[in-house]
Structures are given as C-alpha cells and as structure tokens.
Amino acid sequence: MSSLPSDPPKLGARSTRQRTAVVSVLSEIETFASARQIYEQLDSRGMKVGLTTVYRTLQSLADLHMVDVLHMSNGETLYRQCSSDSHHHHLVCTSCGRTEEIDGGPVETWARGIASEHGFFMSGHDAEIFGLCATCHLRED
Ligand SMILES: [Zn+2]
Ligand SMILES: [Zn+2]
Ligand SMILES: [Zn+2]
C-alpha cells in the first residue's frame, strides 16, 4: 500500500460509488468500527469494495475530517462518522463500543497553555477517554 499523506484524493466515478457505500455504512454504525468491520458490513450488503479500497477511502475521509479516527493502544485504527462537526472528544466503552461525544472542557485550555509554554503553536490534540459504560459496568458486577 503506497499511501503517501500528500497524495491528493483522486476520485473517479468508480471510487465515488465506493466512497458513497463506505459513507452510508458509517452513517448507520453508531460506534467506532475498524476498516475490516466496515468491509464486512459492505460485503454482507453485497457491495463489492476491496479491503484496501475501504482502508484508502477511510483515510481520505479522515484527511477531509469527515470521519473521526481513534488510535487504539493495540495498534488498531477505528473510524466513526460523528454527529458533531466541531472539535470534540470521545468517551468510548471498551466493551460495547458505545461512544459519547464530549466537550474537551479544561483540556482545551491546558493543551494550548502547555504548548505555548514550550514555544509550540498547537495544530491539534487528541484526548479520548476509555472505560465501561453504565450498562456494561452493571453487567460485570
Ligand atoms: Zn466524534
Ligand atoms: Zn458499554
Ligand atoms: Zn480538544
């Protein structure tokens, strides 16, 4: 896979159709999903989109900020189409995948402050909270 980050998205008619298929699956999935899970969803609907194309499409959607990306500690990358267009963070249930979109609150001022303390101009930051949602927590007891 040769995916240089500087690659401009070249979208022919074929890739537009595939992209529409990926976007429609994403809009139906409430939780963060891996490229493979999205690929399997497409497959079960009889939509023939290769796994590599799914990866590439998700990457280009992420570059355009059309999907949110989560980098899990196990190296897996998960994607989700968020309902909020503005900057936000996530609370993610590691058991059922339920996701809440949350405000950064003090994280925003902290990130900007710590960056400028070190002479950095902040271009972005990431902070996701993982845990068990109330339902899953009850189930574990
Ligand atoms: Zn989000
Ligand atoms: Zn849960
Ligand atoms: Zn933030």
Computed on alpha carbons and rounded to an integer, the radius of gyration of the chain in Å comes to 17
Give the environment of ion ligand 3: residues with CB less than 5 A. Answer: 104, 108
Same domain? 25 vs 54: yes
Same domain? 75 vs 111: no
Same domain? 72 vs 95: no
Q: Is the pLDDT of residue 108 over 60?
A: yes
CATH number, domain of 98, equals 3.30.1490.190
How many angstroms separate the Cα of 114 from the Cα of each of 25, 94, 103, 129?
38, 29, 19, 20
Among 42, 62, 85, identify where a domain stops. Answer: 85
CA dihedral 99, 80, 129, 110 (to 10 degrees): -130
Same domain? 129 vs 109: yes
Which bound ligand lies closest to the C-alpha atom of 86? 1
Same domain? 74 vs 96: no
H or E element, residue 15: helix 13-28
pLDDT in tens, 76-92: 999 999 888 889 999 99
Same domain? 121 vs 76: no
Provide the domain count of the chain.
Answer: 2
pLDDT in tens, 12-41: 666 788 899 999 999 998 889 999 999 999
Q: Which structural domain, as residue segments, surrounds residue 121? A: 86-141
CATH number, domain of 2, equals 1.10.10.10
Q: Is the pLDDT of residue 7 over 90?
A: no
Same domain? 2 vs 71: yes
pLDDT of residue 23: 92
For the chain, the maximum distance between any two Cα atoms, rounded to a whole number of angstroms, is 53
**Binding-site annotation, residues for Fe cation:** 87, 108, 125
How far is ligand 2, taken at its centre, from the CA of residue 100, in Å?
11
Same domain? 45 vs 107: no
